[in-house]
Structure 1
Amino acid sequence: MKSSKKFIRTPLAAIAISLLSAPICAAEPFVVKDIRVEGLQRVEPGTVFTYLPVRVGETFTDDKGSDAIRALYNTGFFKHVKVESENNVLIINVEERPAISQIEFTGLKEFDKDGLKKSLKAAGVADGRYYDKSIIDKAEQELKRQYVSRGFYGAEIKTTITPVDRNRVAILFNVEEGDVSKIKLININGAETFKESTLLDEMQLSQGNWLSWYTKNNLYSKQKLVADLESIRSFYLSQGYLEFTIESTQVSISPDKTGMYLNINIKEGKQYKVSSVKLAGELLGKEEELNKLIQVKPGEIYSSTKLAASTAAIADKLGAYGYAFASTTPSTDLKKDTQLVDLTLTIEPGKRTYVRKINVLGNTKTRDDVIRREIRQLESSWYDSEKLKLSKDRVNRTGYFTDVDIGNEDVPNTTDQVDVNLKVTEKPTGSLSLGAGFSSTDKLILSAGITQDNIFGSGTSLGLNVNTGKTNRTLALSNYDPYFTEDGISRFTEVYTRSSKPLYYAGDTEYQIKSTGGSFKLGVPYSEVDRVFFGIGIETLSMTTSINTPIAYQSYIGQYGTSTLNIPLTVGWARDARDSALVPSRGTYQQANLEVGTAIGDLEYYRAYYQHQYFLPLFKGNVLSFNGEIGYGATYNGKEFPVTKNYYVGGIGSVRGYEPGTLGPRSVPNYYGVTTPLGGASKLIGNVEYTFPIPGSGVDKTLRLFGFFDAGNVYEKTPTFSDLRTSYGFGLSWISPLGPLKFSYGIPLSKKPEDRLQRFQFQIGTAF
């Protein structure tokens, strides 16, 4: 005789059993002789047994039946679960959920299909997973969120579920993106002292401009709005409005969901001046030293910007003495009747702190020792904020990283130790430098170089430079090792071959100058920013002449011959105090070099060169840069200065708007009336450049505009300020994967009839 008892048939019953202690349908307990699972298609029986709260040989009860249904249903594998018994055999009857066979989209324009699939997978929807209506609802919300993040507030998502064979379903998301919702209007109500346009400039969000396609600043974001409100608050506080408040903000959207409207209601309050400033707290006997760091002075308008700079300077100064967690808390006492404020800075230095260890993070290619050799903070020594700042600058000046950040981390169970985390963001180690220009009278002039900086993460570089210009052609191979020795002595080696022809005699195959040589240079550091150089080189030069050879070169042959050997010695000095080698925004860079042709060779001359660069940060990413260069050459044996050692000025890297190397003295006209630029024994160059972020892009350093003024020339003897060629212009600077890239358009000012112009130029890899 068969007996069968059905305990629970549906998930609804399972929920009921969980709510009511008594079973819906009572059954006599029995000892389970066997367990049979029916209805499985893809799920393994072992998976079901894993979740069952009963085993063969155990007593089965109503409570265990309820637990079994709950456990199996919660796995998400099954749509229906039924538990029965037959002759003490427990029968688990299940109906599996359909599996997702594929996911497709229609109507996609803004997003890539693969990118959306990754987002859905994180939400639990992917090929091969089980279909669940609730999860699909979440997937629709995720897709909607993705569109809202890009300003598509009107996007509609409709899902179509199509059953296919083997208990599977295909999911199709039909997307109607609609138009992007853009900010149409931003109103700032209550502004009396400042123009609304001034306050809008403090915000990231805007009503849109010609660059909004790149900055996306006309797309509403709650996070950006919160940051913008804080920026407006900081602006007023920096102007002394200590009672400034933001009373309310309203964000509305047009009925068609394409326009966003922002209303910001503010109350300015009154402007306050500082009546007194004093220090309080534990001053460690350094009150006089700390007072000098306070930028907020009595009688001045209160400025939160100056106050923040003062507290940061005090923290840095105390950090230099080992107090890593020093804090300065400002407090204000407002005198509303006189609009004056008393300012008190309370200093809490905390305990003097040791650095337990320094962690280098983010370097996937660069070896740890390449970074650590630039770090001046020592482990197991006093914390020193000045040494950490110097370490950050030195790592930045290597040019291997786009970003360097230093932070502190508490050591558990200690009060006087920290770990320092130095995190770097690596840039591509290979770089390509290019230079080119166009003019109305000449074709493309192209120079190129391939440099592998930080090769194999070792900190050394290997470079190949090629120039394909009509006048000069170059093939040079160089290697630079900044740590040739453990003490930081650098080594630079180069081998090259160069040929030079007259610029305007393309068909003259006889007249040319060829040189082949190499150089070896060592750099010895004697401070954190200073280094002296010593080098030696060897160069052979041969010259062939023709009827077109300028008199200056014929004179050179008359004194030195058609073939010469040169053994130059060099001594130099460089000081690099910039904050970054890639995108400098503050600091200076200087170099001086003296090259002497020795009597061992055929040329006895000297050339002296000096360069000075200065970078001045202004506000919000604006940088004013200056560059000055002067070079002078002469002989010490009474002969004329070798024309092959002349300086050349004009074009990329010197005076923009003129063709490269064409300024200065020229040869007498030849038979065809053509003159050739000869360069000069001395040169003078000056550049001024103002760099600023593209309007609407915040303080983005990767894409910037600049204006410039250039002046310079070469001279036969002593450089003077007379007869300078000048130009001005504008351009675009982009920190590309290839390196700093600049497009410039130069407009010559003091041009002469013989000058050859080149208005558009571009370059990669140089600061000026």
Structure 2
Amino acid sequence: MAFSRALLLSTVRPSLSLATPSALRPSILAAALAVAMHAAPVWAVEPFVLKDIRVEGLQRADAGTIFGALPFRIGDTYSDEKGAAALRALFATGLFKDVRLDVDNDVVVVIVEERPIISSVTFVGLKEFDKDALTKSLKDVGIGEGQPFDRALADRAEQELKRQYLTRSLYGAEVVTTITPVERNRVNVTFTVSEGEVAKISDIRITGNKVFSESTLLGQFELTTGGWLTWYTKTDRYSRTKLNADLETLRAYYLNRGYLEFTVDSTQVAISPDKQNISITINVTEGQPYTVTAVRLEGEYLGKEDDFKALVAIKPGEAYRAETVAETTRRFTEMYGAFGYAFARVEPRTEIDRATGRVEVVLVGEPSRRVYVRRVNVAGNTRTRDEVVRREFRQFESSWYDGRRIKLSRDRVDRLGYFSEVTIDTAEVPGAQDQVDITAQVVEKPTGNLQLGAGFSSAEKVSLTFGIRQDNIFGSGNYLGFEVNTSRYNRNIVVSTVDPYFTVDGISRAIDVFYRTARPINSQGEDYKLVTQGGAIRFGVPFSEFDTVFFGAGWERTQIEAGVSIPNSYFLYREAFGDTTDSLPLTLGWQRDGRDSALVPTSGLYQRLNAEWSVALDTRYLRTNYQIQQWIPLSKKYTLGLNAEAGWGKGFGGRPYPIFKNFYGGGLGSVRGFDQSSLGPIDVTGAYIGGNRKLNLNAEFYVPVPGSGNDRTLRLFGYLDAGNVWGEDEKLSLGDLRAAAGIGLSWVSPVGPLKISYGQPVRKFAQDRIQKLQFQIGTAF
């Protein structure tokens, strides 16, 4: 009887080789079970009570794993159904490549053959991807050191690796998986990669266009053919996602010029036999241009049709423009939202007359229902505290939904600069049709900033500045900065901290502690320096959503340290007031920032006004500074930046204006092409001593770097600077202005905005010092 039982089970034992894909196991097992069912009348095992269970073939796996998977225990009644269930359970663990059950005198013997354990996973020929990242990702899906080997998983990993190479235009990449058995039933898994060369776009053609030239249309694309800079931009690498984005840009280009029926008929992407060159052909139908004859409103507009009509950006008599239609629908939706209608819909409908080329735009408004906000949530902030985001919100919980306040809240959170992306999601509350939840979804970004600057001149040779700051230290929203200047003539150490919410009402507090030494540039070798130490505290009061007024007070001690020689003006001031001067300056300032971006501005206006008034101790003076910047987008690619800055200082109370508070001009942040701080009055000893008045005028014209597409983080610019500094006894005359012109490169580098400029003075005087090559990191002008 024991023999017949064993023979029965042998007919249903599955045996899988190492190369058998796991996906085939269920079918093999099903076939084996089918054989068992047909053989059951002859070889079926009669149910019996188990006296014992034995396990054979274990090497590394724990016996408890097997006993835990079995559907029977000692003392249970064993049957064919339980035996089949045991086979399925043991194979499902993934630890075994073969499992058998034998019955011997009411004892079930479980005979297993363990899967090999992966001893190592290595990559050969890998260059495009990081090995450590790939090793970790493979381990997450079951291919890793110490895990049971599964050929099917290894095959899938090989296919996924190939697919990743395709996303990087490496169409000739080949991946071969090698399994090498080693001692103690282990295997080494090796992925040998032949990456080949990157397939590059050799040709992009547009057919069917008649109104606009092919070069004009291709100028809208991010994808390009090979150029001298595509090694950096990688815009000559084919990507289906990027091509789709370019096709949408092409549609928008036509729709914004009246071609309402423009279509992309087909797109063909061909790759050369050697998989190195890609050719793209786009077939389009332009259709005819349409002119808007009228704009009509239909639907429910809350009895405020006149208010909605005032928001219409579509102008009858002009060509149909999709962007103005979209802008109008956006304004309508925001207007509905301002009244609490969070789910309002505005559908633009066009009624075209092909015979006359005219179109009437119908805006159908449906406000839906009014709702209020139940809860405001914050998500995605892995480092920044919730309160830092919440305190910027102008939409409050348990109040009516207000689309304008929500947009303002999103903009305020975005302007913090702590997040690379800020989105607002609105979700209905289940079971309550008049309530919604608002979620601010943010994506954290590094908020540390490293600032470096350098200049080359015959006077200072190489001057370096270094600064490090953290805009969101410990996720609190507070600022902490440390600046060091190692210039030969100007050295300083400054520590600053800012709490933007010193009070719950949004009043900010800033504290500065500084120690500066300065040796003004001269031509006669004077040996002296200015040592200034002190601190200041100031507060910022938001008077509106865009305007902030600053006020504060500080203490400064300035010491004029004389060496072998000293400029006459400093000597006279030192003789009259001593070598150490204490000041108690009060500060007042105002700022408004309307730029679209602080790093790569293309539009908007920025203004700031600062005043410093010393009212006590050894000095009495007023020092003011005003700056205004205007950024003008001339087109999608070209931007004009204008900057003007003026400073003025005056002594009061019978005291002269302190010479150590003078303005300086020339060099970075002033008039490029001239040596740093070399403009303005010159002492009788030949030293550059600055002045109490200054004027800077700057213009920069930005263009894309050829071959970089529309990448705004890397741009060329031409500049024209003019300015000067005047002393207290000098007449302010525009005829004294120095001017320089030049070219440069602007790049938003990983350590901050970098500018390299080379300039040539176009208006200079005999005593001026020239510095043609300059670069800086971390500043705008």
TM-score under structure 2 length normalisation: 0.91
Deviates more, 1:691-700 or 1:176-185: 691-700
Matched, 1:653 2:669: yes
Residue 14 of structure 1, aligned match among 24, 29, 44: 29
Structure-1 separation of matches of 2:631 and 2:396: 30
Structure-2 separation of matches of 1:397 and 1:655: 30
The one-letter amino acid of 2:193's match is V
Structure-1 separation of matches of 2:218 and 2:374: 46
Aligned position for 1:452:
470
Aligned position for 2:558:
541
1:544 to 1:27, Cα distance in 2 relative to 1, 3 A: closer
Matched, 1:685 2:703: no
Aligned position for 2:23:
none
Structure-2 separation of matches of 1:190 and 1:471: 65
- List per-residue Cα deviations over 1:584-640 (Å, max 9, x = no partner): 454333222232333x33333222222222334555475443322111122334564
Contact 2:374 2:397 (C-alpha < 8 Å) held by counterparts: yes
Residue 768 of structure 2, aligned match among 732, 735, 755: 755
Contact 2:489 2:521 (C-alpha < 8 Å) held by counterparts: yes
Contact 1:396 1:579 (C-alpha < 8 Å) held by counterparts: no
Deviates more, 1:422-431 or 1:280-289: 422-431
1:676 to 1:83, Cα distance in 2 relative to 1, 3 A: same
Shift of 1:283: 0.9
Shift of 1:330: 0.8
Aligned position for 1:765:
778
1:736 to 1:376, Cα distance in 2 relative to 1, 3 A: farther
Aligned position for 2:352:
334
Shift of 1:392: 2.8
The one-letter amino acid of 2:517's match is S
1:104 to 1:531, Cα distance in 2 relative to 1, 3 A: closer
1:360 to 1:582, Cα distance in 2 relative to 1, 3 A: farther
Q: Matched residue of 2:336: which SS?
A: helix
The one-letter amino acid of 1:569's match is L
- List per-residue Cα deviations over 1:501-557 (Å, max 9, x = no partner): 242469644x33333333332333322222323333333333355774333334434
Q: Matched residue of 1:416: which SS?
A: strand
The one-letter amino acid of 2:586's match is L
Matched, 1:601 2:612: no
Aligned position for 2:721:
710
Shift of 1:464: 3.0
Q: Matched residue of 1:198: which SS?
A: helix
Matched, 1:151 2:169: yes
Aligned position for 2:687:
676
1:389 to 1:29, Cα distance in 2 relative to 1, 3 A: same
Shift of 1:4: 4.3
- List per-residue Cα deviations over 1:328-362 (Å, max 9, x = no partner): 11111121111111111111122222122222233
1:728 to 1:29, Cα distance in 2 relative to 1, 3 A: farther
Shift of 1:657: 2.0
Contact 2:665 2:724 (C-alpha < 8 Å) held by counterparts: yes
Structure-2 separation of matches of 1:533 and 1:70: 75
Contact 2:720 2:741 (C-alpha < 8 Å) held by counterparts: yes
1:404 to 1:711, Cα distance in 2 relative to 1, 3 A: farther
1:573 to 1:242, Cα distance in 2 relative to 1, 3 A: closer
Q: Matched residue of 2:779: which SS?
A: coil
Aligned position for 1:615:
631
Alignment of 1:365-376 (within 5 A): 365-376=383-394
Contact 1:17 1:66 (C-alpha < 8 Å) held by counterparts: no
Aligned position for 2:311:
293
Q: Matched residue of 1:46: which SS?
A: helix
Shift of 1:282: 0.9
1:702 to 1:388, Cα distance in 2 relative to 1, 3 A: farther
Shift of 1:181: 1.4
1:391 to 1:726, Cα distance in 2 relative to 1, 3 A: farther
Shift of 1:655: 1.8
Structure-2 separation of matches of 1:358 and 1:764: 39
Structure-2 separation of matches of 1:584 and 1:564: 41
Contact 1:123 1:138 (C-alpha < 8 Å) held by counterparts: no
Contact 1:410 1:418 (C-alpha < 8 Å) held by counterparts: yes
5+ residue gaps, structure 1, are none
1:193 to 1:566, Cα distance in 2 relative to 1, 3 A: same
Q: Matched residue of 1:517: which SS?
A: strand
Residue 519 of structure 1, aligned match among 527, 536, 551: 536
Aligned position for 1:207:
225
Structure-1 separation of matches of 2:481 and 2:28: 76
Q: Matched residue of 2:432: which SS?
A: coil
Contact 2:162 2:175 (C-alpha < 8 Å) held by counterparts: yes
Deviates more, 1:516-525 or 1:318-327: 516-525
Structure-2 separation of matches of 1:582 and 1:425: 18
Residue 138 of structure 1, aligned match among 156, 160, 169: 156
Q: Matched residue of 1:236: which SS?
A: helix
Structure-2 separation of matches of 1:534 and 1:110: 54
Alignment of 1:518-597 (within 5 A): 518-545=535-562, 548-557=565-574, 559-597=576-614
Q: Matched residue of 1:520: which SS?
A: strand
1:715 to 1:135, Cα distance in 2 relative to 1, 3 A: same
Q: Matched residue of 2:243: which SS?
A: helix
Matched, 1:38 2:84: no
- List per-residue Cα deviations over 1:676-715 (Å, max 9, x = no partner): 2221111111222344555565665544444433222111
1:621 to 1:53, Cα distance in 2 relative to 1, 3 A: farther
Q: Matched residue of 1:444: which SS?
A: strand
Q: Matched residue of 2:763: which SS?
A: coil
5+ residue gaps, structure 2, are 16-26
Alignment of 1:379-390 (within 5 A): 379-390=397-408
- List per-residue Cα deviations over 1:61-106 (Å, max 9, x = no partner): 4444333333333433322232222222222222222222222222
The one-letter amino acid of 1:573's match is W
Structure-2 separation of matches of 1:400 and 1:62: 65
Aligned position for 2:736:
723
Structure-2 separation of matches of 1:461 and 1:14: 65
1:82 to 1:473, Cα distance in 2 relative to 1, 3 A: closer
Contact 1:4 1:84 (C-alpha < 8 Å) held by counterparts: no
Contact 2:14 2:32 (C-alpha < 8 Å) held by counterparts: no
Contact 2:338 2:402 (C-alpha < 8 Å) held by counterparts: yes
Structure-1 separation of matches of 2:320 and 2:465: 54
Contact 1:435 1:652 (C-alpha < 8 Å) held by counterparts: no
TM-score under structure 1 length normalisation: 0.92
Contact 1:436 1:447 (C-alpha < 8 Å) held by counterparts: yes
Structure-1 separation of matches of 2:371 and 2:710: 35
Structure-2 separation of matches of 1:697 and 1:408: 38
Shift of 1:32: 3.6
Shift of 1:141: 0.7
Contact 1:713 1:723 (C-alpha < 8 Å) held by counterparts: yes
Q: Matched residue of 2:244: which SS?
A: helix
Task: State the number of aligned residues.
Answer: 761
Sequence identity percentage:
50
Q: Matched residue of 2:163: which SS?
A: helix
1:290 to 1:20, Cα distance in 2 relative to 1, 3 A: farther
Structure-2 separation of matches of 1:21 and 1:27: 8
Q: Matched residue of 1:655: which SS?
A: coil
The one-letter amino acid of 1:353's match is V
Aligned position for 2:19:
none
Structure-2 separation of matches of 1:77 and 1:639: 91
Q: Matched residue of 1:23: which SS?
A: helix
Aligned position for 1:182:
200
Matched, 1:409 2:420: no
Structure-1 separation of matches of 2:711 and 2:377: 28
The one-letter amino acid of 1:9's match is R
Structure-1 separation of matches of 2:592 and 2:376: 27
The one-letter amino acid of 2:3's match is S
Shift of 1:659: 1.8
Q: Matched residue of 2:110: which SS?
A: strand
Structure-2 separation of matches of 1:127 and 1:13: 29
Alignment of 1:172-571 (within 5 A): 172-440=190-458, 442-504=460-522, 508-509=526-527, 511-545=528-562, 548-557=565-574, 559-571=576-588
Shift of 1:437: 0.5
The one-letter amino acid of 1:14's match is L
